[in-house]
Amino acid sequence: MKTEKQYKDLTIREFTKAADIYESSHAGIYEMCKDDYPYISGELAKEDYIDLLDCGCGTGPMISLLYEADPSRHYTGIDITPRMIEVARAKNLPGVTWVVGDCENLPFDDNAFDVIICSNSFHHYPNPQKFFDSAQRVLRPGGRLILQDYTAPAPVLWLMNHTEMPLANLIGHGDVGAYSLDEVRRFCGKSGLRVEKLERGRKFRLHLVARKGPVPEPQRNDSLTRKEQIKNAYKLTGSKSGFYDGMMTYSTLPGKTICRLVWNMDGQKNLRYLEKALSGVPQDFEGKLLEVPVGTGVLTMPVYADLPKADITCLDYSEKMMASAREKAETMGIANIKFVQGDVGSLPFEDESFDVVLSLNGFHAFPDKEAAYRETYLVLKKGGIFCGCFYIKGECGRTDWFIDHLYGPKGFFTPPYETRESLRQQLEQRYEKVKTTAVEGIGCFRCRK
Ligand SMILES: C[S@@+](CC[C@H](N)C(=O)[O-])C[C@H]1O[C@@H](n2cnc3c(N)ncnc32)[C@H](O)[C@@H]1O
């Protein structure tokens, strides 16, 4: 029996040696880890998510696969072995966060992730309960832990823990222990995770899917509730809505056609970019919010209908568009809202007067973008959130073509356009905690003043 530190030092030594061959075809005993990736991908595909954490990510093979399939999500990998993270970082996957750290004490905020995966790392943890407690803390309500590791029937498990693992320690491996299904169930129960799947598979595989819950009413899973609100926006438009609203909400035949043809987006992607863009507006927001430009309000009125304590101001240059937003607000009984006609390049508000400034699909059209960045920054309070989305070039060739040949020449959009990288740099000049992602040609951002 070794101390916690001795086990962790052994692990780091083992994987420092393994890092450079880990993903090669000469990975030796680690080859078998690859068998678990399809299973994890399959579980992940069952539910939508935005923020994923890979615990004991190693050189990031799982994150690489997921990123390749969908680079628009936000992936974070944590591993205790610095060399594994160095190799992962060298892959240069834009937007992916790599952290050297201990899964028994995850260095992340509470409720930060929609899903956690952990594959073939758990048997290295000297304090398994601490891992479950930590995972539970950083998961969002309703979020899932998907874990793959070893287990076996009792006699085999005993042999694994009393002969195989101590022998492995002698040859420099940091294995600590494998657990029975009952023990795993107890770890989950103690940490407040609800077991949804717990199975022993072939080749001594342990499959676990556990969920943080139940979702407490006052702080329900933001992304789920937000999704419902956005879906409400879709319903609100219906088949009788105008072309613009139908396109924004992917709810009419012409709208869907444009979304697919120009933006390469289906309903899922549409929903995903809106969720990301709105992620800076807390579910229970009670402060002052400015939306600019509000347009017809089709995307945001259903969100505002659920923010009865917020003080909302909507601004647009076009009275005509705003009349449609005003009508929606009246129909939905939103009283805590004002509409102001004005120019984003010269906002008619005092400096530092809003807690959140939200801008959906506007910046690509503003002629003086620098003025818009400046003004939105000035009216935001210190510590306030600036979030939203707009077209960025370089992410989807088809969209770029339509913008250059149609939307730009027709005057719907005004160059120059940001790229994902220039958007990040632009925001970092003024803001902290800048987070940018792209869903096809739409760049989503959230940052703090
Ligand atoms: C066999 S590798 C698995 C890598 C990857 N998850 C996969 O499935 O290919 C185990 C990884 O767990 C990491 N690890 C072990 N103990 C850890 C701990 N306490 N915190 C974070 N990572 C740990 C090791 O450094 C190693 O990179």
Q: What is the pLDDT of residues 315-337, one digit of tens each?
A: 998 888 889 889 888 888 889 99
Residue 44 has pLDDT above 70, yes or no: yes
> For atom 1 of ligand 1, which residue has the closest CA?
120
Nearest Cα neighbor of 15 from 51, 65, 56 is: 56
Q: Are residues 141 and 241 in the same domain?
A: no
Q: Are residues 284 and 164 in the same domain?
A: no
* 302 or 429, which is more confident: 429
Query: Binning pLDDT at 50, 70 and 90, where does residue 163 land?
Result: very high
**Residue that terminates a domain, selected from 187, 215, 243:** 215
Ligand 1 pocket, residue 118 CB under 6 Å:
no
Q: Name the token pair of 342.
A: 């004005």
CB neighbours of residue 229 within 10 Å = 22
Ligand 1 pocket, residue 53 CB under 6 Å:
no
State the burial class of residue 448 (Cβ atoms within 10 Å of its Cβ: 0-12, 13-18, 19+).
middle
pLDDT tens digits along 400-442: 999 999 888 888 889 999 999 999 999 999 999 899 999 999 9
> For atom 4 of ligand 1, which residue has the closest CA?
58
- The total of structural domains in the chain comes to 2
Task: Report the CATH number at residue 27.
Answer: 3.40.50.150
- Which strands make up the sheet holding 442-448, listed edge to edge? 337-341, 311-316, 288-291, 354-360, 380-391, 442-448, 432-439
Q: Are residues 314 and 204 in the same domain?
A: no
Q: Name the token pair of 12.
A: 């780091």
pLDDT tens digits along 273-286: 888 899 899 888 99
Phi-psi region of 249 (alpha: psi -120 to 50; beta: other; left: phi over 0): alpha
Instruction: Please tell me the number of Cα atoms within 13 Å of 197 on its side-chain side.
Output: 14
Which amino acid, 316? D
Amino acid 4: pLDDT:
95
Contact (CB, 8 A) for 394 and 420:
yes
Residue 305 has pLDDT above 60, yes or no: yes
**How confident is the prediction for the chain on average, in pLDDT?**
89
Q: Are residues 229 and 152 in the same domain?
A: no
pLDDT tens digits along 62-76: 999 999 999 888 999
**CA-81 nearest atom, ligand 1:** 25
Amino acid 244: pLDDT:
64
Q: Rounded CA gap, 15 and 22, in Å?
A: 9
Compute, in angstroms, the gap from residue 181 CA to the centroid of ligand 1.
21
Compute, in angstroms, the gap from residue 130 CA to the centroid of ligand 1.
16
Q: Are residues 201 and 262 in the same domain?
A: no
- The stretch 380-397 carries a mean pLDDT of 95
Amino acid 31: pLDDT:
86
Q: Are residues 261 and 210 in the same domain?
A: no
Q: Rounded CA gap, 256 and 250, in Å?
A: 5
Amino acid 328: pLDDT:
84
**Residue that terminates a domain, selected from 189, 215, 241:** 215
For 209, residues 6+ apart whose C-beta sits below 8 A from its C-beta are 43, 144, 145, 146, 147, 195, 196, 197, 198
- The stretch 176-194 carries a mean pLDDT of 95
Contact (CB, 8 A) for 155 and 161:
no
- Identify any residues that bridge with 119 across adjacent strands, giving them in sequence order: 148
Q: Are residues 179 and 240 in the same domain?
A: no
Amino acid 64: pLDDT:
97
Amino acid 272: pLDDT:
85
pLDDT tens digits along 205-221: 999 999 997 543 333 44
Q: Are residues 292 and 312 in the same domain?
A: yes
Q: Are residues 55 and 25 in the same domain?
A: yes
Compute, in angstroms, the gap from residue 58 CA to the centroid of ligand 1.
5
Compute, in angstroms, the gap from residue 128 CA to the centroid of ligand 1.
13
Q: Which of the listed residues 36, 80, 176 should we mutate to test ligand 1's pocket, taking the one with most ligand atoms within 8 A of CB?
A: 80
Amino acid 239: pLDDT:
38
- Identify any residues that bridge with 67 across adjacent strands, giving them in sequence order: none
Q: Rounded CA gap, 205 and 192, in Å?
A: 23
Buried residues in 159-179 as b, exposed as e (16+ CB within 10 A)? ebbeeebeebbeeebbbbbbb
Amino acid 238: pLDDT:
39
Q: Are residues 187 and 253 in the same domain?
A: no
Compute, in angstroms, the gap from residue 320 CA to the centroid of ligand 1.
57
Residue 224 has pLDDT above 80, yes or no: no
Q: Are residues 150 and 46 in the same domain?
A: yes
pLDDT tens digits along 95-144: 899 999 999 999 999 899 999 999 999 999 999 999 999 999 999 888 99
> For atom 9 of ligand 1, which residue has the closest CA?
33
Amino acid 246: pLDDT:
61
Residue 8 has pLDDT above 80, yes or no: yes
Q: Are residues 131 and 172 in the same domain?
A: yes
Which of 1-5, 299-303, 419-423 ranks highest by mean pLDDT? 419-423
Amino acid 243: pLDDT:
61
Amino acid 231: pLDDT:
54
Residue 377 has pLDDT above 50, yes or no: yes
Ligand 1 pocket, residue 98 CB under 6 Å:
no
Compute, in angstroms, the gap from residue 15 CA to the centroid of ligand 1.
8
**Residue that terminates a domain, selected from 184, 215, 246:** 215
Amino acid 245: pLDDT:
65
Ligand 1 pocket, residue 120 CB under 6 Å:
yes
pLDDT tens digits along 228-254: 655 554 444 433 446 666 666 655 666
Supply the range of the domain harboring residue 54.
4-215
